[in-house]
Structure 1
Amino acid sequence: MSFNKLLERQIKKYLPEDYYLQEHLNRFIQAVHDSYEEYERDRKLFNHAFAISEKEYIQINEQLKKEALLKHASIQHLKETINKFKGSDTLAYSETDDLTDIINYLEHELQEKKKADALLQQSEKRLRLALQTIDDNVWEYHFPTRTMTFAVNERSILELDGTVYEGNENLVWWQTIVEEDRPIAVEIFQKYMTGEISKHCAEYRVKLKDGSIRWVLNRGGVISRSKNGRPITLIGTLTDIQNYKNIQAELTATANRLSHLLINLQTGVLLEDENGTVVLTNKKFTDFFAYPGSTETLVGIQCTDLYESSTALFKYPIEFLTNTAQYLKNRQPVNNEELKMADGRLLERNYIPLFIDDVYRGHLWTYTDITERKRSEIKLKRQEEKYRSIIANMNLGLIEVDLDENIRYVNQSFCLLCGYEEYELIGKNASDLFVKEENKEMIRNKNSSRLLGLSDAYEMNVNTKNSDANWWLVSGAPLYNDKQQLIGSIGIHLDITEQKMLQRQLEEAKKIAEKSVHAKDLFLANMSHEIRTPMNAILGMSKQLQKTILNQQQQSFLEIIGTAAENLLVIINDILDFSKLEAGKVTLEEIGFNMHDLVTNTSRVLKLKAEEKGLQFKVSVAPEVDKVLKGDPYRINQVLMNLLSNSIKFTKRGNVTLQCLLNNNHLYSQELVIVISDTGKGMDEGYLKNLFNKFSQEDESIARSYGGTGLGMSIVKQLVELMNGTIEVQSRKGEGTIVTILLEFAKGVENDLPKKDNSHVEAHILADKKILLVEDNEMNRVVAETILNQYGAAISEAVNGMEALEALRNNHFDIVLMDIQMPVMDGLEATHHIRQDLASNIPIIALTANAVKGEMEKCIQAGMNDYLSKPFEEEDLVRLIAKWLGRETHFGPVKITAIDETPLYDLCKLKQITRGDKKFILKMLQLFISETTIGIKNMETAFEQKDIKQVQFLAHRMKSSLNNLNISSAATLAEKIETGVWVDPELPALKKHIIALRTIMDKVIPMIMTDYSELHC
């Protein structure tokens, strides 16, 4: 490397990078370079000096003198330059100094500069490494070269990197700044150039490579300057603050909304700063105190001026100003201060001091008009006193307790109820005084429910001052103060000790009656079996004996035996039928029948008996009567047989007639009149009133002369009423009897008529078929499996819907027999999952013991294919399965049993238990009405609280009373509620039972109240 090149590089390293001195430095290097060139020429000329002529020598010598002058001038210029850069006021080098010393000095300075540069580079490296670890973009701007460099930072979302030169218009770095914000950056750099600033911090928006625009925070400062103080290098960061801007905008919007909400509150608001100056008010505040103008006009006003200008509005202005001053002095929150206004209004004021970092920054006043609320409270208090007086006059004990059950108030009736004086009760714990140990847990649960705002009623055996055998009916509710804060409980108490004693007596009497009824049923069942067995043998052998050769006397004896046996069989049948009717076990069929055929078949049986007595026996059916009606032909036949038999029995001469006439022809039904008349002995008018009573006959001679039990007409009446019909009897002694029956039947079609099914179910009709039996009752599973195994089916069992789903997931089955009510998962829900979750179309047949109307529709809607009620006939079940498996046989019609339509209730059992004691019956009815009404209400409340045990307990208590009044439909529901397993999936079914029970009792109780009024008169 040449000398001048080496010198140039060393000087450039040593000297500051000041672009203002660049031109001067270039001239200096050029001078050094020229001197070096002259030196080379001098050396070459000296080498050739001896080889030239004198003339040439003179020329060369002149030339060397000129070059020597130039060299001297260059050296002198170099010294001046060095001294200048050293900052010396006087020359550091004299003219006699050798150039070698200068060069040595420069070499030394260059070595020191290298050390400083190394330290500076290490510091700069650490700084850049630190900046690269943050999420910001790091940039550097170099003034001499006018370049902006962005450090690559993968953590930044701004995606700005590389070097951007201002000289290239396509790469001007500030073009990334949004045009509206660009003057901010330009102004900053202008201030750096003029020396006004040494650091900066500014916010503006930039446009990224993907076209999106984000807010950034640009911070930076000078890190190097020239000797004259001009900036050389800036370094800084570019921070993404878009999220902060978004949050700031959201906070601003929220603040605006809160401000808007505050301004539009129906509560007057006044916000003051620490100097007592108005910061914010709202419209309600200015309305309260009649300040003119808008709310903005009050901002900045001293609040003391506001207070003094509005004192005339207050009823007690001095008190208002004094209290206000005291609150401002104490700086403690004040709540619910009541201010009486001169115009009669009542305002409620709150004072809220505001502290930020424990420094007082002002306070907030709120004003609420509570005039109407106070008036309501006064009115409510008067009403409360009124109702307390009413409760006292009704002899109902009233007590109020706090949250710890300490007594706060009692009325005089409660004192009479418990035997204590008022002073003995106030402040004492109610549970300690009255609640027995076995009831403590129940009372704790009741108190917990009060905390939830729940009310209920319950019965409890309590301790009083003089007894431990008293019973109270307690109606409890939560107690609130004027601010709607829960402060305890309130209870109304009724002494039901006497009713409990009556109920206990009734239950004991009921148990005795039930035992008696059970004994009677057992006796009837045994007698039926014991009598029918020998009667069957007697009748059978009598018919066999008639086929043998007998003399006249033997034939006469045989006829007497046959007649006696048939009469005895009629008596047995009457007793058994009446027992069924009395127990409500008789149900009606709803099938098609032909009235013409029914009457004809009935007359055939009795026609021979009438002709034997020489009677004219005529029957007729009006042609207008439809060929097909829907009802129970078997019970109709029983009624007609009984009435016609009586007519023939009590008629010695004349005729017996049956006429069936059309009374009303409706669109979908026909009302028929059946008239049975005879010319028999007739009845007295007095006896007609007792005709339908059980075991009723006109006199003892009838039984001796004609036989019978006196149950026939009672059975007829109950059957007719069971079919929603009426029966009327007209008779006069010696003139005969006319019985008129009015019945209405739905119209049917030919397909409604029962068809004889002579088909035979093959023994192996279900062979190789896999059946899933879903049934929770083990006995029902055994019955079904025993039946189906006989027909070749393979049975798998599941005890609930969940197990059925698991079985269907893992195995193949041809059909499912699904019970409806099961624990864990019922049949309807299981069917839904089979259709939806498993997407299976396997045939599903519902097997249910619920024969209520509409049950089949529920099963079909749930996705089941068919329905069979339990108990079922063996062939009905097998044929239904065969139908859905494609092995259908010839089917007979499915008989649908109608709902038991017996009277909703009767007092027979109650009268029997009480032996007709009218006073006792009235007490029982009164007790039943009150307890049942409360019981159902408590049951509904317990269900809402999911207290299933309480629901079942109430159902158990109610069941005996319902049975005593023969409210069989409600008693059945109570039985189901009591004995059911009510887990979560079954709760909707339980709710339906409770609703059904409520519906029945809403019908029954008004009827009982009517009977009560009639008995009481």
Structure 2
Amino acid sequence: MAASVPPADSFGPPNGIERRRADPELSAIFDNASVGILFTRNRVIQRCNQRLAEIYGTEVESLIGQSPGIFHADEGSFRRLTERARPLLTEGKPFDADWEFRRIDGSPLWCHVYGRTVSKSGDDLGTVWVIEDITQVRRAREELAQREKLLSQIIQGSLISTFVIDRDHRVTHWNRALESLSGIAAAEMVGTTDHWRAFYRTQRPCLADLVVAGASLDAIAAHYGGAGRTSTLLDGAYEAEMFFPDIKPNGRWLFFTAAPLHNENGELIGAIETMQDISERKVAELAMQQQNATLTTIVENLPGGVIVSDRDLRIIACNDAYRRMMNIDDSLFANGAPSAEDVVRYLTERGEFGFGEPDRIFEAAMQRVHHREPQHYERMRPNGSVLEIRSSPLPQGGYILNMVDVTERKRHETELRTTLAAKEAAELASHAKSDFLAVMSHEIRTPLAGVIGMLKFALEDGSLRIRTREQVQVGLDNAQSLLNILNDILDVSKIEAGKLTLEAIDFDLHALLREALDPLAELAAAKGIAAKIEIAPGLPHFLRGDPTRLRQVLTNLAGNAVKFTERGTVRVTAGLARETADTADIEFVVTDTGPGIAPETLVRLFRKFEQADLSTTRRYGGTGLGLAICKQLVELMRGSITVDSVPGAGSVFRVRVSLPKGAAPSRQPAAAGKRTRHTHRLRVLCAEDVQTNQIIIRMMLTDLGHDVDIAENGQLAVEACARTRYDLVLMDGRMPEMDGATATRLIRAGGPQGTPVLDPEVMIVALTANASEEDRARYLACGMDAFLAKPVDEAALHLQLSRAIERQLQRGIELPLMPARGAGRPSTAELDEMFEVFT
């Protein structure tokens, strides 16, 4: 206690009721003490000083004779104090405690209480109590504790890893965020000085330890050995960032700060250190650095010039290509990064934007610089070169400008436009040629079909004289040659136009070889030369492809061999060159013992309109298109054709094609002979505007035992279908009044309003002198079921008639049976009369 206690005997005799005069000095001390003093006996206040009365808020006289319980808020408080103090006082020991009392006005009062029993000669005189008012101290302590609690809560609740050490480097706080970062619990760390182990494998001071030790920035930087960045903050605080390899499995980048802690007297009492995991930021910074390096490399290596400005129009990037293109020397960058205005003025003064009034040119150029929208334009330089310029604003302000010299590209574009115009003109010419050939094909084939048809009928008349038969045969052969020439020209036209398409159907290769080559064997025998067809063992029967075009190639090659060979042998072999599970590579070899071909002629053998020499044309005829067509057809089949020849020793042509394996066709109708009789008779309508063709079709159908009606155009054909139920309609494609396609669509639609046709589903077969694939596809698309080419082959006609019979029977339509004999052929007199009519 700060105040001394007066001697026991100064309080008077044990009866204590009469107040005795004590030593004046002791009384002065008692009355003027800075603490409250009272003397109690038998729980009654015998004496107290003025300070006690002031503490309690009353007068001394009002306290004398009162129970000490007057100082307590309630009886329970007094009883608890008495119970704690009695054992000590009874044993002569002092009682010392902080206790809460109540003033006379009821306000709380915290006091430090010191009590001791007073005795004399073994007699208990009473108890002396010293009371010190500690209310303000207590309140200060509570506020300090509250502040410390709040600080602890703030540290614990912070998301930033934090720990606090005292001046002895002992941990006083270790928050939850740091527990998560370090993996060490606060209970394990608080009160220790080995907090270094949360960050390092070996003992070394943390930044907070250095701050407590009063280390300088240089010492701190030296301590971290340049492994991180350090700097000084205010009031002796420091910050740093460094990679800690021992934190977590792969290490972490931390940004940490440490600041000293002082008490109210300015004395150092410890330090606080905070740290943040900045690993993600460092990874992002590294990625940004790499990206910037990559972008810098890209900008520097772009084929065009690139210049970039910031929001203040200061140039922040300008690659070497831009400097070279604009002829910029180092003087523009002598004083650091120039502005966009500096660059524009520099270029204006050197005539980059043309010659004239410099200020006007400069202002016009700056207007583009200040334009905030994306720009794309071309500019011709004074030297005649052309620049393509793109300028785009940047999100953070400023712009990026890219320029490319497109002079060469412009020249190429001009050339390309010229080429495209020429190509377009060529395509128009090609279309015009195709249209012309289509028209000419129709116009030539139509009378030619009549000639061939009539000559064939004439040859079948057994009453012809021998000389007349020979003359008619010569006429038929020439007409057939003319048809072959026309077919070659049309094939070349279609191939050139890219309009020749190949079929993909299953066929029997062995049957194809016999059909294609057996007639040539007869021709060879007539010339007195040997013709051999050899099929190698293992050659597949069924393949998938275009049998018609393959037959055309083989017929042409073998036909040429027979035509040019005067003595010896023509041999055609077919063998399997290679086979997989799905495909077969077939090699056809045509060998002859003809005159052979000179080396200088071989190089142009497959060109159009080329033959060995003019004497070949004069001697054997032909257009020189056959081999060119063969080569193009084989290439369309993704195959190859080659030739080896020695003059005087013959030639060898090799064709190799790869074809998918096929299946046996589900139904392979046998070739129909022109005298084969059908089981049922059909009623046929032939829509044909050319009288000669009408006669031929009528004669062919009549000879086969069928009934036929003729309509001279499509309109009449539709009207006929409205009057009569036909089993088959042969429809010419091109006719006056109404063409075949229009008539077919009208029939399929049920006929004109008011005059419906009797059978909209009647089988319709196109008769076309046009070999155009487009026309054939158009005929099928409009509703026709098939087509026959002019001149009409009687076997092909017979096949379509057979299909019509089968179709009608499947539909449940009754057909009359075919009579035992068909109509006879026209006599020679009738044919002569026809020729006279049409000559």
Normalised by the size of structure 1, how large is the TM-score?
0.39
Normalised by the size of structure 2, how large is the TM-score?
0.46
In our comparison, the structure showing a higher alpha carbon Rg is: 2
**Greater RCO (CA < 8 Å, at least 6 residues apart):** 2
| Larger helix percent | 1
